[in-house]
Structure 1
Amino acid sequence: MTRVVIIGGGPGGYEAALVASQLGGEVTLIENDFVGGSAVLTDCVPSKTLIATAEVMTEVTDSEQLGLRFGDGGPESVSVDLAAVNERVLGLAKQQSTDIYEKLVADGVRIIIGAGRLDGPETVVVTTEAGEERIEADAILLATGAHPRVLPDAVPDGERILTWTQVYALDDLPEKLIVVGSGVTGAEFASAYDALGVDVTLVSSRDRVLPGEDADAAQVLEDVFTRRGMTVLGKSRAAGVRREGDGVVVTLTDGREVTGSHCLLAVGSIPNTADLGLETAGVEVDEGGFIKVDKVSRTSVRGVYAAGDCTGVLMLASVAAMQGRIAMWHTLGDAVQPLDLKSVSSNVFTAPEIATVGASQTDVDTAEVRAVGVTLPLKGNARAKMQGIQDGFVKVFCLPLTGIVIGGVVVAPRASELIHTLAVAVHARLTVDQLAQAFTVYPSLSGSLAEAARQQHLHAVATVRS
């Protein structure tokens, strides 16, 4: 039996523990808080639960065009009890953590609540309330995650200046929220609180929101933000945040000041790699402190693996989980395929959502890949018209000669569900003809994916004929 020790109980850690136990390993999981990690307790599960409430508010606000009437108060008469919302958010997170814990115990995983560190490449030292314990291991997985980055002159106080892990302590909606950072986290929270009725100002250091996403998709989202009344400050970098009475003042690098009741910092993450004994064990990290790994999650030290946000490899819960599984498949001798980032699908949970997979528009524009793209606005889709969807599109990329689907973008409500069709096509190397010939329900938003594929086919036929 192989002795496996895992430090960190987030998606990378607990998924690895389940795989290792099912493959016959003797598994010990070390977690210094609650099983599930930040993804379950302070990040993915809580934020998407909050966003679920925001989605309902967005649907209510936009429903008058569908013929619904709300009396004298209109849609604005619908209010949000933030204390109740956050109570539900934290309750669901706790329940999810408990479910994962019970699953691990049922599968024979030993769970230790404490702080783990390496003492060489084959030993882990755990510090708990009862003292220290040394555990010898044949394989070690580091899955310690990351924590919010803060600015030197913007120290969170948990009351008015907040990180995304602290917003669930609020009992009342902010009167005026300033979100610093327009990446995925910043855009999601800005979108959610805007839908809940908060006056939101989004401070973006770049010329547009979501600089790492498809430019066409980001433009749609920014247009929606502006139309709904959000203030978006582009090319505006925050220098600091300070408390002033019952509010906050955000100072920009150009000297301007923005005032609000609360400030949410969403300026990136820092890996939890300090005090892990990495240097002693010889585990290499990059200049940002992220653990270096290869495509089967191996570090620079034999027998030591790493997974999740502490590696900086596409900081997604799904990627962390796959890295953890791959590590265990590799070390325990099961069939394994290296991590393929070209088949990873991701989603930005804004309104509308933005989902992507595979090759991007940037890849095509820079000739990194030679591909043909077709974009289809959703406003021509029958189901979109029925649901009152005004914004969004689908975009499909394929290789010019073979027609193999290599990527795509979906901007729509529930894009996170629609993208799976393209993810399967990319993973299985399906052609646009195969995608087009598969039946879709009429009417449905997914019908636009098939229509885009049909247009790809027509483009190919026209190219051949010319």
Structure 2
Amino acid sequence: MGPVSSRKQSIVFIGGGPGGYESALVAAQLGADVTVVDRDGLGGAAVLTDCVPSKALIATSDFMSRFKAAGRLGVGFEGTGDDQHAEAHLSAVNRRILTLAKAQSRDIQAQVESVGGRVIQGTGRISGPREVEVTPDDGEARTLKADMVLVSVGCTPRVLPSAMPDGERILTWQQIYDLQELPEHLIVVGSGVTGAELAHAYLGLGCEVTLVSSRDRVLPGEDADAATVIENVFRRRGMKVLNRSRASGARRDGDGVVVSLEDGREVHGSHVLLAVGGIPQTSGLGLEEAGVEVNDGGYIQVDRVSRTAAPGIYAAGDCTGILPLASVAAMQGRTAVAHFLGDHVAPLNLRGVCANIFTDPEIATVGYSQADIESGKADGRIVTLPLSTNPRAKMRNINDGFVKLFARPGSNTVIGGVVVAPQASEMIYPIGVAVQNRLTAEQLASTFSVYPSMSGSIGEAARRLHSLES
């Protein structure tokens, strides 16, 4: 159904990232009066400094890696000389990446404006009940009336007081696209998703890379088997991984950097990349004065339809601390708008979220995890199928990776899965469909797959779940 109110509702979006612009499109299509206030450009960090640029960098790195692996497929470079090789020109790579990101941002703004939305470049803050004070970059502050406000302001990179970024040698993930030359030796501090992805990217581009991890393994929050595969691949390709090594600081040292570890060791390199999490950009928005609850970490507290504690004020995206994914931010925002306007809405279901880590191989997940099953949080059976037995994987010289499925005993309903493979982000979708729609392993197994295909391993894993049940 559509909006229940005949009066045109006014909605102001503070922040134009995925949580803001995606929901602004929905709001305009549902007949609302839409204004998006954004500081840096529509698309937010996801488009301008995070997801789009980093994945474009990784795609470039993976292209380089295919050249290096060509010899194993019987393909080589012809011509004279023994030192023929592919080489990354970082200034050209970064120029392409930033051009791509800005073009995507322009396309998003054009899309919002095409459905009747207004975009104001500037800042916004909640100044009173149903009011937003907007300060455009090119004009005087003014107050907008708003029946609904959606806050989607994202996060900024966390830094260490003892390792303040200078934009030249000590860098956050938002500053790396200003580099003109490939680092000789990049030290990456932080082995979560951002750290692992960018360490992989620069290794593939030809850098010496040292990854500093405070935990027992890289990607500590991910499936343990998947993380082990990635760490082994990192080491095999020449990355130095320092586990159980917490960084205490970083400093410039001539033309290089020195990263100090808490145990007294020092790591020397040419550049250091800090990937130690983010901080929500929620200060100065008038949230507390408006009655919005913000926790000690600065994250806005919301319910499953994105409502805050203040009437008419919703929030979406990384600033809520729910799950730092662009897809989740967009779903939160769309849910908020649908709830406010009286359209059909379902509460946010995090079990249906497909997530991906863009290393090589990639790690894709959905639903319950093996840790959930082993801890008793979920009741499930587990089947793991290595990709080394898959005929398409053999053709592509893929030796690392697996498909893992989880199903509920009795009903055999698929409740989760993990894929570790090249383009696992594409392979996880059928498992996501199964989890979201409560399909059984039998239904998944009886669905035709192409032969030969990587996705054939999903069907085979489902058949093995069926044989375990019967």
TM-score range with shorter-chain normalisation?
A: over 0.9
Paired position in structure 2 for 1:423: 432
Report the equivalent of 1:359. Answer: 368
Matches within 5 A, 1:52-451: 52-71=59-78, 77-128=85-136, 129-451=138-460
Distance 2:183 2:81 in 1: 22
Could you say which residue in structure 1 is the equivalent of 2:47? 40
Distance 1:105 1:206, change over 3 A: same
Q: Is the 8 A contact 1:61 1:76 kept in 2?
A: no
For the aligned residue pairs, the C-alpha RMSD in angstroms reads 1.0
Structure 1, residues 240-260: CA drift from partner, whole Å, max 9, x if none?
000010000000011100000
Q: Pick closer, same or farther for the CA change 1:121–1:73 going to 2, 3 Å.
A: farther
Amino acid paired to 2:192: G
Give the counterpart letter for 2:231 in structure 1: E
The DSSP-based 3-state class of the residue aligned with 2:87 is coil
In structure 2, the residue matched to 1:464 is none
- CA distance in 2 between counterparts of 1:337 and 1:28 reads 25
Deviation at 1:76, TM superposition (A): 6.8
Shift of 1:58: 1.7
**Cα distance in 1, alignment partners of residues 121 and 128 from structure 2:** 21
Compute the displacement of 1:73 (Å): 6.3
Could you list the runs of 5+ residues in structure 1 that have no partner in the other structure?
Answer: 462-466
2: CA distance between counterparts of 1:29 and 1:74? 56
Is 1:24 matched up with 2:31? yes
Which of residues 10, 15, 20 in structure 1 aligns to 2:17?
A: 10
Is the CA contact 1:440–1:447 (under 8 Å) kept in the aligned structure 2? Answer: yes
Which runs of at least 4 in structure 1 moved beyond 4 Å after TM superposition? Answer: 71-76
What's 2:467 paired with? 458
- Give the secondary structure class of the aligned counterpart of 1:445: coil
Tell me, what secondary structure is at the counterpart of 2:454?
coil
Give the whole-Å Cα distance in 1 for the aligned partners of 2:381 and 2:92: 48
Give the secondary structure class of the aligned counterpart of 1:119: strand
Aligned length: 461
Letter of the 1:203 counterpart: V
Instruction: Give the Cα–Cα distance (whole angstroms) in 1 for the partners of residues 82 and 120 of structure 2.
Output: 53
Counterpart of 1:240 in 2: which secondary structure? strand
Q: TM-score, normalised by structure 2?
A: 0.97
Compute the displacement of 1:121 (Å). 3.4
Q: Distance in 2 between matches of 1:430 and 1:325?
A: 26
SS of corresponding position for 2:128: coil
* Superposition deviation, residue 55 in structure 1: 1.1
Q: Distance in 1 between matches of 2:88 and 2:351?
A: 40
- Provide the identity percentage: 61
Equivalent position SS for 1:452: helix
The answer to whether the Cα contact below 8 Å between 1:6 and 1:17 also exists between their aligned partners in 2 is yes
Deviations 1:39-86 (A, max 9, x none): 000000000011110111122212211101125767871111111110
Decide whether aligned partners of structure 1 residues 347 and 103 sit closer, same or farther in structure 2, where only a CA change above 3 A counts: same
Q: Does the residue aligned with 2:425 lie in a helix, a strand or coil?
A: helix
If the length of structure 1 is used for normalisation, what is the TM-score?
Answer: 0.98
Bigger mean CA offset, 54-63 vs 334-343? 54-63
